[in-house]
Amino acid sequence: MKRGLHPPGRDVRCIVSVGMLTEGWDCNTVTHIIGLRPFMSQLLCEQVVGRGLRRSSYALVDGKFPEEVATVFGVPFEVIPYKANPAGAAQPKEKRHHIHALPDRQNLEIRFPRVEGYTQAIRNRIDFDWKNVPPLVVDPQHIPPEVQMKGLSVDVEGKMSLSGPGRTSQADLNARRSRHRMQELIFDTASHLTRLYAGQPGCAVPRQTLFPQLMRIVERYMSQHVIATPPAQIKDALLCSPYYGWLVETLKEHIRPDTSQGETPEVPVYETHREDGSTADVDTWTSRDVRPVLRSHVNFVVADTKQWEQAAAYAIDTHPRVRSFVKNAGLGLGIPYLHNGQMHEYVPDFLIQFHDLPGVTLILETKGFDPLADNKKSAAERWVAAVNAEGKVNPERGHGQWRYAMVRKVGDIPGVLAAVK
């Protein structure tokens, strides 16, 4: 046994070469190379393994050199540089799944429009979407309406403390509440809302006609849709931020043309730089859990949860009314909605079509806890109403009829699918 040859200054304690030292053998002949320590340099690895390339004999046999073998143990000879894993053994690579449309299921394709906003052409009469408007909750756990204050004292250990001498005072909203009557606040809110709505491009409603209608809407919303938990009061929604901003935002987003009075319904504004979406466009990769499905143009359903969406996909895939469905993963369907003064995009879970309802597509959301669930549901209902109205106003630009449903339990899905009309 001997050490392998190496350039001066190179540490090759990790390599041991085993040679045949019997009489008549070249002492430079290397037959076995054994790695004892991890290589930190690929160059060193290549040099040492190169020792095994020296031939022990150059005698020709039938005009050719005979085959000779050098056996290498534990030496990571690779084309790319090798670096040891400090955690120990190499970690397994993350499994990736290819999500794509299957050509042999072209008949299950689902198409959808890409909506980026809405347009209204109201002349005189407005309506309000009372069915879908979310409530406003004034929660003292979120924003305290009162607080106790006291000057901090220093205890014997030199730490700040509230237990020392001094008077405790309370700061609350009572003084501000007493200075403003509810009717005054409603009037100011209706005035603010009138200026905002009338200032939109394309709004043709005279302000003197718009204000009294908005006044009635604000009064009804404050009395029926604002929920205050004591010690908070309903009036706080008109006095405090961010409640006031949320209130005005919600009211503005739920104003609709009064079609019963001859107004043209609200219609969507479609994206101009992209065509309608389709399941045929799905072509993406994911490391998330996937499940194969049968009644879908796309090969897999991507699961964002451990069990919820897998169970939902099974309930949809096995329902007798379902002709085709798709999970909205890599599909690109987004529903715009406004929150905190910024536009967001709500991505619902499933699109479903039926054997007995040709031209009808259901948007199905399986929702657990979400503080914005009501906002998203309202945005989806607006999307559905506008797209359906477009099909009636401009049949050549129609996208069929759409429905929306949100379920809180997977067990409710079969009943929801059975009830779609």
pLDDT at 307: 82
Q: Are 8 and 42 in contact (CB under 8 A)?
A: no
- The mean per-residue pLDDT over the stretch 261-284 comes to 93
What CA–CA distance (Å, rounded) separates 301 from 297?
11
pLDDT band at 256 (very low <50, low <70, confident <90, very high): very high
Residue 149 main-chain phi, psi, to 5 deg: -130, 150
Task: Identify the H or E element spanning 94.
Answer: none
Q: Are 127 and 257 in contact (CB under 8 A)?
A: yes
pLDDT tens-digit readout, 71-97: 777 666 554 454 556 665 556 677 889
pLDDT at 92: 65
Residue 103 has pLDDT above 50, yes or no: yes
pLDDT tens-digit readout, 29-62: 777 777 665 555 555 666 677 777 777 777 888 8
Q: Where are the domains of the chain?
A: 15-73, 99-117+267-419, 121-145+179-261
What CA–CA distance (Å, rounded) separates 30 from 65?
17
Tokens representing 120 are 């209204």
4, 113, 253, 268, 339 from 393: Cα distances, Å: 86, 16, 22, 11, 29
Task: Identify the H or E element spanning 153.
Answer: strand 153-154
Q: Are 140 and 275 in contact (CB under 8 A)?
A: no
> Nearest-5° angle of CA 214, CA 334, CA 249?
20
Residue 287 has pLDDT above 70, yes or no: yes
pLDDT at 31: 77
* Average pLDDT of the chain, as a whole number: 84
